[in-house]
């Protein structure tokens, strides 16, 4: 079977565009007209479809590459059936444009540069599409609309496109809602205020039957939705990766996928180039929601965005310093992993929103450590090793029962006291911090807790924790005991109200009333939410914990 080079077709006025998404990989079977990659200029993004059906043998482009008309995207081992685009491109090995581009004047009515009073915004020329469904409304009455700002997204069975505003002004009335169908000329919105009218500019619109992508207008172009037979265009005015409009930046197929799953794209953090949302991001978001670890875009914007220089203004802070580190020496930039991004956003929210205080204390675990060591010797054959953390979990359950507000959560002005004791423990994994949860620790012995902890920690490191294994904790312990340190200030894992940090135990001279004696002391750092817990209660909690750890028989009382 013939090897066919699939090339970038006619993409209108764009000289060079960046590859921002790879939608297939070597070994995939692709259909004719199936989208292969997404490319993006500063004004538009478009999916480049395959001119032929077959199996992908070789990728010739990578993320970030610049391509133009004629660039080879990939090599396909073509199947016998004639490719859909063959009629437009008899020799698929030659640079055969899949898109026949045609300059089409849209929004032809020249308008005054400025006007005042109500202005109607209509659905412009959307090519051959009829009765397209409104799948997304991106603005609301009262919003100040810029020219070319996307108002709604519409979708046919073949394409989706964002419909931009032909005018600037304040949105007084929106005439469509999600689920409506619209056609060229339909009234979309009424704007008021000082309205500036876009100048009419010809844009390239895919027009051939096999057309597969469309191209937005030149920089000063009129706000014209552009669509084509298979793929569609991100909004011409949708500044990719820009934050001004805050619109989800994703390809039509990803939008469709998100809709099928009921995922609000505006909440998803894009990991693609320039923050583009990929199918994997939507999947990851779904998993995160299921596990209760989902973050909103707003949360994330406050965390990693700060590293990229954006954050701070929401809190009235001065902007995050933006430094060109390369000026001072060689650098390497690496995107943070998904778990780090998710946990970062959650940690930041919790650090900012909770009036947290940390009490430090020491517990004498000399006898407990001796007991632990002898237990492990006795149980050597069972393969289950008991660590100090398992004893701590049991001790904490006893303290949580004695001081129930530590096992509660805030719900508005009420406290929800939980009559179950599920303990989360921070686990250090190659992908970042994870918090597996051991359920019903009040009903389990130290051996069972140790065993479950070992299994959950392994799963966490292997990235195999299921959603149920990361949710429902009532209290969390973060142990750095195996690593070192003295004290630290752990951040509360909301909606919990307290967290215990534990560091490495050390032999210390302790005054017993007559003399200094060597005792194994365990540093404890209890962080608590001052809205729920008072300082005295926190001191009592730590003192009680210390008593239990110094004489574990108290757990039975």
Q: Give the shortest CB-246-to-ligand CAO separation in angstroms.
A: 30
| Nearer CB in complex with ligand CAO: 92/505 | 505
For 548, the token pair is 């239990």
- What is the DSSP track for 364-426? E-HHHHHHHHHHHHHTGGG-PPP-HHHHHHHHHHHHHHHSGGGGEEEETTEEEE-SS--EEE-
Backbone angles phi, psi at 523, to 5 degrees: -75, 130
Q: Are 320 and 311 in contact (CB under 8 A)?
A: yes
| Nearer CB in complex with ligand CAO: 142/484 | 484
**Which of 478, 493, 525, 527 forms a contact with ligand CAO (CB under 6 A)?**
478
| Nearer CB in complex with ligand CAO: 302/372 | 372
Q: Are 164 and 155 in contact (CB under 8 A)?
A: no
**Which of 257, 406, 425, 552 forms a contact with ligand CAO (CB under 6 A)?**
425
For 70, the token pair is 């004629």
| Nearer CB in complex with ligand CAO: 53/457 | 457
- Which pairs count as long-range contacts for 189-192, CB under 8 Å and 24+ apart, including other chains? 189/120, 189/121, 189/139, 189/145, 189/151, 189/165, 190/118, 190/119, 190/120, 190/121, 191/118, 191/119, 191/121, 191/145, 191/165, 191/167, 192/117, 192/118, 192/119
**Which of 480, 524, 526, 533 forms a contact with ligand CAO (CB under 6 A)?**
480
| Nearer CB in complex with ligand CAO: 270/481 | 481
Torsion angle, alpha carbons of 486, 491, 495, 498, to 10: 30
Q: Give the shortest CB-520-to-ligand CAO separation in angstroms.
A: 8
**Which of 60, 104, 504, 540 forms a contact with ligand CAO (CB under 6 A)?**
504
| Nearer CB in complex with ligand CAO: 235/453 | 453
Q: Which stretch binds ligand CAO (CB under 6 A): 126-134, 218-226, 318-326, 424-432?
A: 424-432
| Nearer CB in complex with ligand CAO: 38/343 | 343
Q: Which stretch binds ligand CAO (CB under 6 A): 5-13, 109-117, 256-264, 425-433?
A: 425-433
| Nearer CB in complex with ligand CAO: 291/376 | 376
**Using the rule CB under 6 A, is 546 a contact of ligand CAO?**
no
Q: Are 495 and 460 in contact (CB under 8 A)?
A: no
**Using the rule CB under 6 A, is 393 a contact of ligand CAO?**
no
Q: Give the shortest CB-484-to-ligand CAO separation in angstroms.
A: 9
Residue span 433-472 as binding mask against ligand CAO, x where in contact by CB under 6 A, dash where not: x-----------------------x---------------
Closest alpha carbon to 416 in 474, 365, 462:
474
Q: Which stretch binds ligand CAO (CB under 6 A): 125-133, 226-234, 238-246, 386-394?
A: 386-394
Residues found in the chain: 557
Enumerate residues 6+ apart whose C-beta is below 8 A from 370.
none
Considering only residues 290 to 319 of the shown chain, the ones binding ligand CAO according to CB under 6 A are none
Closest alpha carbon to 153 in 105, 188, 196:
188
Query: Which one of 167, 238, 422, 530 is the catalytic residue?
Result: 530
d(CA 186, CA 168): 18
Q: Give the shortest CB-555-to-ligand CAO separation in angstroms.
A: 18
Torsion angle, alpha carbons of 380, 383, 384, 388, to 10: 50
d(CA 148, CA 165): 5
Q: Give the shortest CB-547-to-ligand CAO separation in angstroms.
A: 18
For 357, the token pair is 């205080």
**Using the rule CB under 6 A, is 389 a contact of ligand CAO?**
yes
**Using the rule CB under 6 A, is 8 a contact of ligand CAO?**
no
Number of residues that bind ligand CAO (CB under 6 A): 19
Q: Give the shortest CB-430-to-ligand CAO separation in angstroms.
A: 11
Instruction: Give the nearest residue (CB) to ligand CAO.
Output: 481
What secondary structure letter does DSSP report for 298? H
d(CA 201, CA 125): 13
Whether 530 is catalytic:
yes
Q: Give the shortest CB-115-to-ligand CAO separation in angstroms.
A: 57
Q: Give the shortest CB-524-to-ligand CAO separation in angstroms.
A: 10
**Using the rule CB under 6 A, is 61 a contact of ligand CAO?**
no
**Using the rule CB under 6 A, is 363 a contact of ligand CAO?**
no
What secondary structure letter does DSSP report for 167? B
Q: Which stretch binds ligand CAO (CB under 6 A): 144-152, 164-172, 478-486, 538-546?
A: 478-486
**Which of 65, 428, 442, 508 forms a contact with ligand CAO (CB under 6 A)?**
428
Q: Give the shortest CB-478-to-ligand CAO separation in angstroms.
A: 4
Q: Give the shortest CB-301-to-ligand CAO separation in angstroms.
A: 22
Q: Which stretch binds ligand CAO (CB under 6 A): 64-72, 104-112, 316-324, 500-508?
A: 500-508
* Cα first-last separation, the chain: 78
| Nearer CB in complex with ligand CAO: 175/439 | 439
d(CA 177, CA 188): 9
Q: Which stretch binds ligand CAO (CB under 6 A): 14-22, 312-320, 381-389, 414-422?
A: 381-389
**In this structure, is the dihedral angle defined by the CA atoms of residues 305, 306, 312 and 313, taken in order, positive or negative?**
negative
What secondary structure letter does DSSP report for 168? -
| Percent helix, percent strand, percent coil in the chain, to nearest 5 | 25, 30, 45
Catalytic residues: 530
Binding site for ligand CAO (CB under 6 A): 387-389, 425-428, 433, 457, 478-482, 490, 502, 504-505, 522
């Amino acid at each position: 079977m013939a090897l066919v080079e699939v090339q970038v077709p006619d993409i209108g006025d764009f000289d060079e565009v960046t590859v921002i998404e790879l939608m297939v990989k070597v070994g995939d079977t692709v259909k004719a007209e199936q989208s292969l990659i997404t490319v993006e200029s500063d004004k538009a993004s478009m999916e480049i479809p395959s001119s032929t059906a077959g199996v992908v043998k070789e990728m010739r482009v990578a993320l970030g590459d610049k391509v133009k008309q004629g660039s080879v995207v990939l090599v396909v081992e073509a199947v016998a059936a004639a490719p859909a685009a063959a009629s437009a491109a008899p020799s698929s090995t030659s640079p055969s444009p899949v898109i026949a581009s045609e300059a089409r004047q849209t929004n032809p009515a020249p308008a005054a540069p400025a006007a005042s009073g109500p202005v109607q915004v209509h659905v412009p020329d959307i090519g051959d599409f009829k009765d397209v469904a409104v799948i997304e409304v991106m603005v609301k009455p009262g919003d100040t609309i810029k020219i070319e700002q996307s108002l709604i997204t519409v979708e046919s069975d073949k394409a989706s496109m964002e419909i931009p505003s032909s005018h600037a002004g304040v949105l007084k009335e929106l005439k469509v809602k999600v689920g409506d169908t619209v056609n060229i000329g339909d009234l979309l919105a009424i704007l008021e205020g000082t309205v500036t009218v876009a100048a009419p500019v010809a844009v390239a619109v895919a027009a051939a039957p096999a057309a597969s992508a469309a191209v937005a207008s030149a920089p000063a172009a009129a706000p014209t939705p552009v669509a084509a037979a298979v793929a569609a265009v991100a909004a011409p005015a949708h500044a990719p990766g820009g934050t001004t409009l805050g619109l989800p930046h994703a390809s039509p197929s990803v939008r469709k996928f998100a809709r099928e799953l009921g995922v609000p794209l505006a909440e998803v953090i894009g990991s693609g180039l320039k923050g583009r949302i990929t199918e994997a991001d939507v999947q990851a978001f779904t998993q995160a929601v299921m596990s209760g670890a989902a973050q909103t875009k707003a949360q994330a914007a406050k965390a990693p965005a700060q590293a990229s220089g954006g954050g701070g203004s929401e809190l009235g802070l001065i902007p995050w310093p933006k430094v060109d580190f390369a000026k001072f020496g060689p650098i390497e930039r690496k995107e943070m992993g998904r778990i780090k991004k998710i946990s970062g956003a959650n940690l930041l929210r919790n650090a900012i929103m909770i009036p947290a205080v940390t009490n430090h204390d020491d517990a004498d675990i000399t006898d407990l450590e001796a007991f632990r060591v002898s237990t492990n010797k006795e149980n050597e054959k069972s393969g289950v090793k008991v660590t100090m953390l398992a004893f701590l979990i049991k001790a904490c359950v006893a303290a949580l029962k004695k001081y129930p507000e530590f096992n509660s959560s805030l719900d508005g002005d009420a406290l929800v006291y939980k009559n179950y004791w599920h303990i989360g423990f921070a686990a250090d994994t190659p992908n970042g911090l994870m918090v597996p949860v051991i359920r019903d620790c009040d009903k389990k012995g130290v051996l069972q807790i140790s065993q479950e902890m070992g299994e959950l920690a392994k799963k966490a490191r292997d990235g195999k924790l299921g959603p149920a294994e990361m949710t429902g904790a009532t209290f969390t312990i973060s142990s750095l005991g195996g690593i070192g340190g003295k004290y630290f200030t752990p951040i509360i894992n909301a909606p919990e109200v307290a967290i215990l940090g534990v560091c490495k135990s050390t032999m210390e001279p302790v005054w017993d009333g007559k003399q200094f004696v060597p005792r194994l002391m365990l540093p404890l750092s209890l962080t608590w939410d001052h809205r729920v817990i008072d300082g005295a209660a926190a001191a009592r909690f730590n003192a009680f914990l210390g008593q239990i750890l110094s004489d574990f028989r108290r757990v039975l009382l």
